[in-house]
Amino acid sequence: MSSKKKQAELIEEISGVNPLKCMKCGKCSASCPSYNEMDIKPHQFVSYVINEDVESLVNSESLWKCLSCFACVERCPRDVKPGKLIDAARQMVVRQRNNTYLSPDEVPELLDPEIPQQLLVSAYRRYRR
């Protein structure tokens, strides 16, 4: 199996998403609040995974522009959930960088009371796996 295919399968495994269910309706992109900041748009995540081009996805701006608000996950009529795909791509990046995990004990020290709640929740959501 090619490494590209492996990567695509890894994304599918982490996200639990079957990209073939997508019917290309674009509701994800229509729902996305940071659409304009993204170079690869939410509805395109799916085709990047189908085309086994995970590398582009991993190197994209979008990876870090996604707010993990999960509006696309909530509204996707086909259960494809592009937000989970991009989340999985981020996981791949994070997993590759060794030793970047925080242990739960370290978290309280890093807490800044100024940090918006939403960011915290979103961070937990991202790194929970």
Residues 62-101 that bind other proteins (CB under 8 A): 71, 75-79
Cα separation values, 82 from 14, 43, 70, Å: 13, 7, 9
Query: 62, 52, 110, 105: which is closest to 86 by C-alpha?
Result: 62
Q: Which residue among 3, 4, 20, 26 contacts other proteins (CB under 8 A)?
A: 26
- Could you say whether residue 35 binds other proteins (CB under 8 A)? yes
**Rounded least distance, CB 99 to other proteins, Å:** 38
- Phi, psi (5° rounding) for residue 18? -100, 100
Which residues lie near other proteins (CB under 8 A)?
A: 21, 23-32, 35-36, 41, 43, 71, 75-79
